[in-house]
Each structure stands twice: as C-alpha cells, then as structure tokens.
C-alpha cells in the first residue's frame, strides 16, 4: 500500500474530535516524551498547547541546532509561467482571472537566472501555473537542459506528473519536487477546485508516491493553511511526511507552511475565518510541533510571512527560507506586481535577510550540495 492509500484511510472528523479533546496533561506528556507519536503531535497543535509555546520553542530550537547546526538554507523561486488551465478560488493564476498571461522563453529565463545569481542564490525553485499543453514536459525538458549547469540545487513546483516524467527530469538534473495537497479534506478540496485537472484529488495525492518511486532527492509537501481546518490539515501533513520517510527513505522530506494570502481576483482569501486561518502565534506553535514530532524533517518558510515573524521564527525550527521573491514571470529583471500569484509580506532585499540571519547567530547557506566530480 502506498502513502496516498494510507492517508485516505484516515478519518478527518475523528482527528478533529481528538484535537479538541486534548488536555494540558496530554501536552505535558508529549513534551516529556523522547519519541513522539502522531497522537503527541495532535496534542502539540491542539488549543490546549497554546500556554506551552515557550517550552515548545525552546525544545524545537535545541533539536534544530542539534540536527542542522547553526545554518539556514537560502533559495529563491523563479516563476516561469502564469498560464493555468484550472479554476482555483484562492489563486491569482486561476484561469478566469483577466490578467496578462506570459511564459518565459529560454532567453528570458536565462536573463532571470543571471539576475538571481547576481543576488547570490544557487538554489532555485522553478514554479509555473498548471497548463499541461502549453507548459508541460517539452517545456520543462528544454528549460532544465538550458539552465541546469547554472544552479547547484534545482527544485520544481509544477502540476503533478507521471512517474516516468519525474524519472526523465531527474536524469536532466532535477533534485527536488514540491507538490502541496492544498487541503487533505476531499470535501474542502472539491469546493475550491472547480475546473481543470486539479479537480482530481487522488491524482494529486498520489504524486508524492510517484516522486518517491522516481528516486527524486527531496519531496516537498504542505497544506495551504486556511482552506480547511488548519489543525486537521497539519496532522495529515505530519503523517504524510512520516509515511514518506518510511516508504521512500532515500528521499529527504521538506514541509512548508503557506498561509492563505490575498491575490488578484480572489474573494475567498479575505473571508477565511479565524477557525481556519492560523494567526502568527499559532503558526509558530505549528512549526515547533513539526520539529518536536520529526527532528529530521526540513522545514521551510516563505516570504508570504512578515519580516518580523520570519526573523523571530528562524531559530526555532525553520531550516530553509526564500528571500527577495518575485511571484510573477520575469519579475527579477522587470519587477512588477501586475501578475503576482499572491501577495508577499517580506519584501526585503536579500542583503537584509542575510543580515537578519547572521544577527541570529546563523550562517546563510547558498548551496545545498554539489555533485562529486572525480579528478
């Protein structure tokens, strides 16, 4: 049985009941444990754990430094295209939005790469909307072949692909794939994905199995916090990461924490209730809970969050951060907000982010690893 099939067996309603039945005693037991279970994770993200945030943060910081040292990985997203064949109510790229659509040519991509390298970045996340006919495997293959030599570690966040496609891209130098489930509730998922192939909940959920079987070095997962009950989705994300580590132990696992943000043409993003969208204190609680549950998982924080929050959270569990992000194609050579996928909050130049990292006693790491070349 694969990871997706194991996740489908979970009763989300039962998880919600368990979360809200946790007591201070359950939280204290979880904090005292040296080998934490998923039930412990539920206690740590439950409302009952809110008064214990300081102790959670102290333990999370200690575990992070022990496992990852005094380092912070830096990466940057490169948006290649905002074409999309899906209707998703929370995304600025949704097909019904009347925005200018563009896909970078190889020459334009190279210009973006040079601008990114000029800022110091060597780890790159390629991002597109989901449009298989115009931005599919032929485009991905051409792009990877053109830019791979310029980048030390190459990641992608695109539409879910076939296992054979992931294997092909790995041969072309792809190191990591990020596929966010958005929400693990099939009911909420159907509500927010109303047209296009992204309506297929199972195809997306099974993507991480295909990535793992393809032997990709790193698998990135996460839920879009605010679409459903953030605590329930976070429990499922924690279980998802644990199962991936068990089934595909040759691949590393990374978890991200995107909160719902305002974007062009989006009404839902401003309607998220406090029960579904975690505030900053709850987001920090969630980051610490993931670290206490899984000391070896990589935790990533994007520029969706404020500079103040990122500076405060960077020593407490996070291991990688984006910086100076532009969320529109061509944004590094011709910055514009006209085509943003979503609003960002931390808009500081990379030099300021690096300074903030160093002020926290951490070392910015620009390269994840370099392929061995025999002399």
pLDDT band at 367 (very low <50, low <70, confident <90, very high): confident
Query: Is residue 232 over pLDDT 90?
Result: yes
> In the prediction, which pLDDT does 337 show?
54
pLDDT of amino acid 273: 47
Q: Which residue has the tokens 């520029």?
A: 303
- Return the C-alpha torsion angle 104, 105, 111, 112, nearest 10: 20
pLDDT bracket for residue 269 (50, 70, 90): very low
pLDDT digits (tens, 9 = 90+) for 74-125: 999 999 999 998 999 888 888 888 888 999 999 999 999 999 999 999 999 9
User: Angle at CA 299, nearest 5°, toward 297 and 302?
Assistant: 160
pLDDT of residue 270 exceeding 90, the answer is no
Q: What is the CATH number of the domain that holds 11?
A: 3.20.20.70
The pLDDT, as a whole number, for residue 373 is 47
- Count of domains for the chain: 1
Does residue 140 sit within a domain?
A: yes
Extract the tokens encoding 265.
């043409």
Listed in order, strand segments (DSSP E) in the chain are 71-81, 87-88, 123-128, 153-157, 176-178, 193-195, 218-221, 252-256, 298-301, 320-322, 363-365
* CA atoms of 44 and 369, how far apart (whole Å): 33
Separation between Cα atoms, residue 85 and residue 98, nearest integer Å:
13
Q: Which of 286, 365, 296, 367 is nearest to 122 (CA)?
A: 367
Look up the pTM and report it: 0.94
- 370 assigned to some structural domain: no
Flag whether 8 is in a domain: yes
What is the rounded CA–CA span in Å between residue 295 and residue 128?
A: 31
Range of the domain at 270: 3-365
372 falls within a domain: no
Mean pLDDT of the chain: 92
Q: What is the pLDDT of residues 348-361, one digit of tens each?
A: 999 999 999 999 99
d(CA 165, CA 160): 10
> What confidence category does residue 176 fall into, taking pLDDT thresholds of 50, 70 and 90?
very high
């Amino acid at each position: 049985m694969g990871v997706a099939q194991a996740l489908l067996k979970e009763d989300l309603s039962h998880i919600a009941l368990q979360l809200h039945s946790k007591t201070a005693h359950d939280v204290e037991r979880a904090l005292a444990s040296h080998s934490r279970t998923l039930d412990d994770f539920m206690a740590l993200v439950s409302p009952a754990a809110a008064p214990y945030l300081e102790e959670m943060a102290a333990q999370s910081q200690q575990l992070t430094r022990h496992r990852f040292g005094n380092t912070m990985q830096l990466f940057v997203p490169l948006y290649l295209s905002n074409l999309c064949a899906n209707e998703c109510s929370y995304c600025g790229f949704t097909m019904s939005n009347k925005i200018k659509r563009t896909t970078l040519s190889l020459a334009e991509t190279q210009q973006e790469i040079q601008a990114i390298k000029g800022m110091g970045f060597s780890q790159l996340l390629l991002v597109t909307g989901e449009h298989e006919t115009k931005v599919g495997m032929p485009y991905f293959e051409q792009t990877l072949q053109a830019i791979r030599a310029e980048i030390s570690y190459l990641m992608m966040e695109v539409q879910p692909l076939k296992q054979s496609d992931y294997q092909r891209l790995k041969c072309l130098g792809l190191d990591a794939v990020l596929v966010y489930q958005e929400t693990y509730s099939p009911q909420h998922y159907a509500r927010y994905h109303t047209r296009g192939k992204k309506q297929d909940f199972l195809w997306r959920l099974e993507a991480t199995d295909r990535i793992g079987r393809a032997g990709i070095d790193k698998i990135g997962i996460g839920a879009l916090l605010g679409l459903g009950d953030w605590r329930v989705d976070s429990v499922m994300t924690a279980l998802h990461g644990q199962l991936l580590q068990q089934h595909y132990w040759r691949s590393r696992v990374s978890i991200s924490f995107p909160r719902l943000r305002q974007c062009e043409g989006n009404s839902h993003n401003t309607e998220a209730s406090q029960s579904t969208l975690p505030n900053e204190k709850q987001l920090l609680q969630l980051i610490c809970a993931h670290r206490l549950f899984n000391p070896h998982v990589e935790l990533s924080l994007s520029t969706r969050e404020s500079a103040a929050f990122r500076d405060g959270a960077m020593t407490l569990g996070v291991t990688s951060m984006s910086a100076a992000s532009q969320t529109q194609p061509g944004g590094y050579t011709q910055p514009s907000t006209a085509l943003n996928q979503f609003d960002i909050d931390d808009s500081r130049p990379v030099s300021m982010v690096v300074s903030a990292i160093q002020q926290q006693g951490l070392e910015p790491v620009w390269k994840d690893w370099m392929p061995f070349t025999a002399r």
